[in-house]
Structure 1
Amino acid sequence: MPQSTVFLIGLSGPAAAGKTTLPHILTHIFCPHVSLILHGDDFCKEFDQIPTVNGYLDADGPAGVDFMRMGEVLDYVKVQGTTPEGFNSWQADVFPGQDTRALRMMDSNMLEDLREQVRASRVFEDEVEGKRLVIVEGFLLYNIPDIRKRLDTRLFVK
């Protein structure tokens, strides 16, 4: 089996830890190596498929996420380097301008310094050399072993 040209980076942590913001900053720092950001929220089930607990939708629990579909998309991305036809991330529609907002959260000189440090470190010479980085962020990424094993590396944001 040919070696994948995609390196999947999992990014997880609690609510409001910066999981959605950080990939946009990392995309700038690791440019041009990051080719795609996948959001765990894009795999939320439809409302009529989400169970209720005490009369309320339990969208924040594992039963509210379509992990099977997430696994299928991760497998496709790993081989093809892009999302499957028909896959649509609602993040860009619901939260337009995430890149711009994320970059405004950091000093531009610091961003450029970090970018230069990454280039100088030659971090891409070994395991990720010649690969495109895909960042997969979501608060339940590590909850499901089948998803965890698909990720080439995992980071936790507090």
Structure 2
Amino acid sequence: MSHPTSQIHNAQDSVLLVGISGPSCSGKTTLSRLIRNIFPPGLVFILHLDDFYLTDVEIPVKDGIQDWDCVESLNLPELQSALQHIKEHGKSPPSLVSKEDQNSVAEHGVDAETINELKTKVTDLISKNKWSTPIAIVDGFLLFSQDMADIRRLFDLKLFLRTSYQAAKRRREARSGYVTLEGFWEDPPGYVDRIVWPNYVKDHSFLFDGGDVEAKLDEGVCREIGVQAMPREAEGSMTKCLNWAVELLADVIEKSNHDQ
């Protein structure tokens, strides 16, 4: 699939704002943390959409189950305010303390040699292009949905991960639970089939040919909204996914220097 053109980024900008989205358990947080690890210390920081949930008692209930996977469960004004702060100041709001970093992620499976090679590549690239702009990564399951179009427009680079229903279900059901604002949440039986996957289909079918989230992405739609889609061969391989993401970031860094 061809890559749409990302927004023009100038080295003088206060931040490069990167959105990483996709279905639950597609590797968003894992990828974000790997990128942070590969870039020089302090250059990359992460904001998690999960840090903008409403309080536990405010999460909407559908069919007798709390729905943590819908846009109504999020504090969108607070999220937009935080992103505007980052765009203006190049750092997270001082009042924002991440609870998401208390949640574990699965083993990434990327070998040390690959990580070291990417670190060397990125270090050389940053030195060559004299890049010092902070990179803010926001990871979240709804960042590119139509209901969040105003927020979607704020990102300079939009990376969309994908995974199959079977993989998402297996990974989600293997998780122990999630730290919330007021406690801890564990998915009840059948939660993926009743809540998680139907919501994903509803919010992201517009990105796919014929509305089928297991099919190819619609190149025209992705190009129009500036979404970069993970190659199909990277599904199930965080090594390939990481290489793809670093290549896109490298392209932005190189083009930024040439545009000065």
Query: Could you tell me how far 1:157 is from its partner in structure 2?
Result: 1.3
The separation in 2 between residues aligned to 1:25 and 1:121, in whole angstroms, is: 17
The separation in 2 between residues aligned to 1:153 and 1:137, in whole angstroms, is: 12
The separation in 2 between residues aligned to 1:50 and 1:82, in whole angstroms, is: 28
Unaligned runs of 5+ in 2: 1-11, 163-260
The separation in 2 between residues aligned to 1:121 and 1:4, in whole angstroms, is: 18
Q: Which amino acid aligns with 2:134?
A: R
Sequence identity, in percent? 31
The structure with the greater share of residues assigned to strand is 1
1:13–1:138 CA contact under 8 A, matched in 2? yes
Q: Which amino acid aligns with 1:107?
A: D
Q: Which amino acid aligns with 1:138?
A: G
Say whether 1:25 aligns with 2:37: no
Match of 2:110 among 81, 102, 106: 106
The separation in 2 between residues aligned to 1:20 and 1:124, in whole angstroms, is: 29
For 1:81-100, list aligned pairs within 5 A: 81-92=90-101, 94-95=102-103
Tell me the alpha carbon deviations over residues 52-81 of structure 1, each in whole angstroms, 9 at most, x when there is no partner.
111211111111111111110011112122
Question: Which structure's relative contact order is higher, taking Cα pairs within 8 Å and 6+ residues apart?
Answer: 1
Corresponding pairs, count: 149
Query: Could you tell me how far 1:120 is from its partner in structure 2?
Result: 4.1
For 1:72-151, list aligned pairs within 5 A: 72-92=81-101, 94-95=102-103, 105-121=109-125, 125=129, 129-143=131-145, 144-151=148-155
The structure with the greater share of residues assigned to helix is 2
2:43–2:132 CA contact under 8 A, matched in 1? no
Match of 2:78 among 69, 92, 101: 69
The separation in 2 between residues aligned to 1:48 and 1:124, in whole angstroms, is: 51
Query: Could you tell me how far 1:30 is from its partner in structure 2?
Result: 2.1
Match of 1:50 among 59, 73, 97: 59
| RMSD, aligned α-carbons | 2.3
Tell me the alpha carbon deviations over residues 77-123 of structure 1, each in whole angstroms, 9 at most, x when there is no partner.
1212222232111022x337x6xx76x73211110111222344569
Unaligned runs of 5+ in 1: none
Scaled by the length of structure 2, the TM-score of the pair is: 0.52
1:35–1:132 CA contact under 8 A, matched in 2? yes
